Each structure stands twice: as C-alpha cells, then as structure tokens.
Structure 1
Amino acid sequence: MLTIAIVEDDDGIRLAYSDLMSSYGYEVRTFGSAEDFIASACQDLVECLVLDQQLPGLSGLELQARLKRIQCTLPIIFVTSHDDPVTRAKAFENGAVHFLNKPIDADELVRCVADVLRRGR
C-alpha cells in the first residue's frame, strides 16, 4: 500500500485530506507540524508529502530545505492559502512537484498525488 504524509496544522483540514486520501486506498500519516514530521523519522517510509506552507515553527519551505540538505528526495505537493510568486518559485526551485492554493479542489489534490506517485522518487 502506498503511503502519503500530510503536514497541516489545521486539524479539520488535516482530517479532511487524510479521509480523502484514505478513501482512495492510500495509507496516510498525518502531522500537525514540520517538527512532528521530522521527529517521526518516516521520511523514507512515505512516497509523497502533502505540505502546508504556513506552519507554526518551521514553515513548509524550511522543512523542504531541511529535507534537501539530508538528500531526502521525497516528492512534495505544497498547499497554501498565502500564495505569492516568491514562495511559489522557491518551492519549485527546490524540487516541489505541485503547488496548490487553498481552498483546494479535492479532485485536483487526488490528481496531483497520483501524478507524484506515477513519477516516483
């Protein structure tokens, strides 16, 4: 079973993403912060990371940079309600596969996850 990690600080959104991905047969691991994700040491156990940009503590971009420093090639789908050209460019420059604006369309998220999993690491 393919495993997806979701890092989202909003409990309701995190649960909605998790329920959606579970309904498509994915195993889902959820985290309320970047620090919780790092502490889990599951980076090598998941195939895709759905990552909120605006998080308490480390931001999504900061987590992405940290993963890149340790040569973790985990594909990332960014989601944010604070889209700006600089953040978007930096995310893609550092390897993000998709960048979605909240509120996101459920079908679009599912398509992006499927795309990431087709591509692999």
Structure 2
Amino acid sequence: MLRPPRDIAPYSVAQYIAQNNGVPGVPDRHGVTVLAKVNGAAPRITGKLNTAFPYNGDVYNVVPTARLIGGATPAADLISAFQSSTSKVCAQTAVIQRYGFATIPNCGNIAVMGER
C-alpha cells in the first residue's frame, strides 16, 4: 500500500537518476524517496532527465581560458577534451545521460567565459 507523501526534501535529480541507473561509484542512497512532478512535469522520462522540468540547472566545465585558446599555456589534451561539439566530453552522450544530466546543443562552445 502506498502512503501519501509526508515530507519534502531537496534532492538532486541527477543523483537520483545516477543511483537508479546503478552507475559505478555512485552509492544508491535514495531508499524509498520518489521524485514528484512540478506543475505537471516529471523530473525524468524513461530514466533520463526531463529537460522540460522547471528546476533544471546548467552545469559547466571550468578550465583556465589560457589553456584552451592560446596564451602562454595552451593544452592540446584539454582542447580535445572540452572544445568543440566533437570534443571527447560532448561525444559521451550515453555517459552524460546515465549520470542524470542532459546533453545541450552548444556542447563544447567556449563562447561563455568568465575572467577573474
């Protein structure tokens, strides 16, 4: 018999998905926790992140700019890993989804930069 929800707690949708997908190194701690819909939108669809869920947030890879676009210390391994839509990271769609994240159309785009 299902009981009605009694508590609300913050929980990462990505963690929940990774735990349910049995990702190695991600301990399954969700127990009887369930993810509820918000405004009719479920946080996941078929075990993957629902990008239409209203509480999604962007995740960025932070790499020193000079290591990607020149400067004194460009690094070929970082460039091939992160820069361009064909980078090693962007090519790992299945892994990204298993960990509970979604792929984005501008993956590998280094136009968004911050400087300190």
- When Rg is computed on C-alpha atoms for both structures, the one with the higher figure is 2
Superposed pair shares fold, TM > 0.5: no
The structure that is helix-richer by fraction is 1
State the TM-score, normalizing by the size of structure 2: 0.23
